[in-house]
Structure 1
Amino acid sequence: MHLRALAAAAAAVTALSLATAGTAQAQPQSSTACGSSGVGESMAYNSNGMVAGWISQFYDSCTLYTYGRWDWNQDFMAAHPNRTVSFGVGSVSVNAARPNFGLAMNSTPGNAVFGVFGEDHRDAGDNTWRAGAELDSSGCVAWTSAHNYNNGTESAGPYAGCNDWLMTQIPWTAP
């Protein structure tokens, strides 16, 4: 399944826009035309007194994949080269609540500023997903809002914490 996810992610890279990371509006699955769109709310990852980057969640209605997308902060990359981020998506009802992280990206200036890693969103029984990012295998993860693909709502806002990277350890209902 991961090879399928990586292949779909590679294909989706050309389809996703490089819009400025920030808050995306939640969109119900039924209103999304075939293609990629941002869902939920993005989350900034803070490190060394500055924003390292942003994690966002995307949905591709052509492949039915949910993606985690990471955008490096260029200033962070310049100030802290050779830092690594892993990012991906997770749901409490998939893989024993362990998120699937992939595609580690290095912060060396000049490297790709954008990447995706995806999962078939139908794999989650409750159809609610978050995208997350972890810097330097620190045990600290920034999560997007929890997006419910059945009705297009957010069941919880963005979240960041340390030593709670399992999906069952983070809040899945609105604070």
Structure 2
Amino acid sequence: MFTRTARTLTAAALAAAGVGLGAVGTAQAATASCGYINIGSPGNVNLHGMYAGQVEQVYNTCNGYTWAHFQWATAYQQGPYRSDTVFVSINSWSNGGQVTGPVSTAVKDVDSPGMYIHDANPDTFIAYAQVSCAAAWGTWHAYANGANWGGPAPYSC
């Protein structure tokens, strides 16, 4: 789990780099210790010889929830396989996961339901995406100490 100091330092570093941390859909500025951050590295999905998109883990420093975010590649969305669908999930090491139903390429950004990080022991999570026969996952991340256990892993078919 990130400490308040670590969140503040991360937010300050992002703010210095010009990255906004405000909540989606609001014009108000976020406080320096609260916002969304991407965790670890994303995993790429390649399908039919094309880059289809990537999945990454997102963490809300305000409420302690994490979820998986998948974004389709524009060229894949507009290509001959645009009828494909993706299942996106956030999985904990010990406490199962949350998954979307199949979501088509018509939806650019797909988010899994979130999971509260302290409901799992250990509080370690991974973002996962499955498109047809291809799958990928981002970095396994342990919130208790900030360690990354491995990944990302791209798969192609």
With normalisation by structure 1, the TM-score equals 0.67
Aligned-pair CA distance for 1:161 = 5.4
Match of 1:133 in 2: 129
**Cα distance in structure 2, aligned partners of 1:75 and 1:54:** 13
- Partners of 2:125 and 2:142 within 8 A in 1: yes
Equivalence map 1:1-175=2 (5 Å): 29-30=2-3, 31-32=6-7, 33-79=33-79, 80-95=81-96, 99-107=97-105, 111-117=106-112, 118-136=114-132, 138=133, 140-160=134-154
Aligned-pair CA distance for 1:44 = 0.4
Change over 3 Å in CA distance of 1:64–1:113 after alignment to 2: same
- Partners of 1:103 and 1:116 within 8 A in 2: no
Change over 3 Å in CA distance of 1:82–1:102 after alignment to 2: same
- The gaps in structure 1 that reach 5 residues or longer are 1-27, 163-175
Aligned-pair CA distance for 1:52 = 0.6
Deviates most, 147-156 or 52-61: 147-156
**Cα distance in structure 1, aligned partners of 2:88 and 2:119:** 18
Structure 1 outlier segments of 4+, above 4 Å: none
With normalisation by structure 2, the TM-score equals 0.74
- Partners of 1:88 and 1:131 within 8 A in 2: yes
Q: Can you list the C-alpha shifts for 1:29-80, whole angstroms capped at 9, x where unaligned? A: 2222211111111010010001110001010022211110001000011112
**Cα distance in structure 2, aligned partners of 1:135 and 1:76:** 12
**Cα distance in structure 1, aligned partners of 2:95 and 2:87:** 19
Partner amino acid for 2:92? S
Match of 2:16 in 1: none
**Cα distance in structure 1, aligned partners of 2:154 and 2:72:** 17
Match of 1:18 in 2: none
Alignment identity in percent? Answer: 25
Q: Secondary structure at the match of 2:71?
A: strand
Match of 1:25 in 2: none
**Cα distance in structure 2, aligned partners of 1:147 and 1:71:** 20
